[in-house]
Structure 1
Amino acid sequence: MICASVEHLDRYKGMSRNLDTAIQWIQSGAWKERTEEGKLVIDGERVFAGFDRYNSKLPTEGLLETHRRHIDIQMVVEGSEYVEVRPDIGLEIATPYVDDVEFQSVPADPSHQVILTPGTALILFPEDSHRPGLALGGVCSPVFKMVVKILIEE
């Protein structure tokens, strides 16, 4: 897991070509004018962004998720939320892997909580189980979010 401001993402270039492409695209600001939901192709199936509008959820809702084939860069465009993040070790599987996502039950012990507001990027790797879209202060509110999916190079 890496949490950084958008202007400092270039510090993480060099890890993979696909991640470099995603960082360059984010830092170009091309996403800032987007207002509609849906998928935006950046570099074929190697790098693409999904845009979604929703209301943040209470911490009693939702499951943790992990991905095997993709790195996520999660960014809130409008609104705010927090993302619960923890290592994927020893978690109880609620739904096995299907289409690059597996869901795990949420354990009772504490986890890392990362607050996402506009200008903050959260990079999540396959070992980072995460539960996004959680309401700050227990107050559900509208969120417009971008998740850039980066294919892990073999």
Structure 2
Amino acid sequence: MIIDSLDNAHLYHGLGPRFVKAFEYLQQTDFSTLEKGKYEIEGNTIFAIVNEYQTVDPAGEQMEAHKKYIDVQYVAKGEEQIGHDFLNGQTPSRAYDGDADYMLFGERPAFFSRLAQHQFAIFFPSDLHMPNLTAGVQQPVKKVVIKISVA
């Protein structure tokens, strides 16, 4: 996992051309005008999901992991906390759903990080994550999740 500011996106271009495209999309798009929904960047290989929500208490949440896609989670507006950990053989509380590309885990996160506006987190298939959490007080967040295919 990687957590940083969009100002430092150039440092991660070495992860490959798909990351370059994802970061260019984040840097060049005015998210204040985009509605919630899915936006293709490069077919099913790279796409964005724009969402708006109120942050939630971590008590009722579970960590998730993916197999087919890497998440680049970018906070366009607001601030949230994200719980995270390493996937090290834990047993899923909800089995992997290949169509939705996720599985859930009941363990509590080992780490919590705060994502402020214009910051991002990258979660690889080896990372567990619990996004959308309240950072201090509940607040509205607009987040863009770029999905990058691992294949």
Q: Would you say same fold, with TM above 0.5?
A: yes
Q: Following TM superposition, by how much is the alpha carbon of 1:31 offset from its aligned partner in structure 2, in angstroms?
A: 4.0
- CA deviation profile, 1:21-55 (whole Å, cap 9, x unmatched): 2122223x214343310001111111110011111
Distance in 2, Cα, partners of 1:39 & 1:31: 15
Distance in 2, Cα, partners of 1:34 & 1:86: 34
Alignment gaps of 5+ in structure 2: none
Contact 1:65-1:101 within 8 A present in 2 as well = yes
- For normalisation by structure 1, the TM-score amounts to 0.89
Distance in 2, Cα, partners of 1:24 & 1:48: 12
SS of 1:14's partner is helix
Structure 1 outlier segments of 4+, above 6 Å: none
Q: Which residue of 1 aligns with 2:126?
A: 127
Q: Which residue of 2 aligns with 1:54?
A: 53
SS of 2:11's partner is helix
Aligned residues: 149
SS of 1:71's partner is strand
Q: Over aligned residues, Cα RMSD in angstroms? A: 1.5
Q: Which residue of 1 aligns with 2:107?
A: 106
Distance in 2, Cα, partners of 1:78 & 1:147: 13
Percentage of identical aligned residues: 30
- For normalisation by structure 2, the TM-score amounts to 0.91
Distance in 1, Cα, partners of 2:23 & 2:52: 22
Aligned residue runs from structure 1 range 1-154, under 5 A: 1-27=1-27, 29-98=28-97, 99-107=100-108, 111-137=110-136, 139-153=137-151
Q: Following TM superposition, by how much is the alpha carbon of 1:78 offset from its aligned partner in structure 2, in angstroms?
A: 1.4
- CA deviation profile, 1:96-132 (whole Å, cap 9, x unmatched): 111310111023xx62211111111111111110000
Alignment gaps of 5+ in structure 1: none
- 1:94 alignment partner AA: S
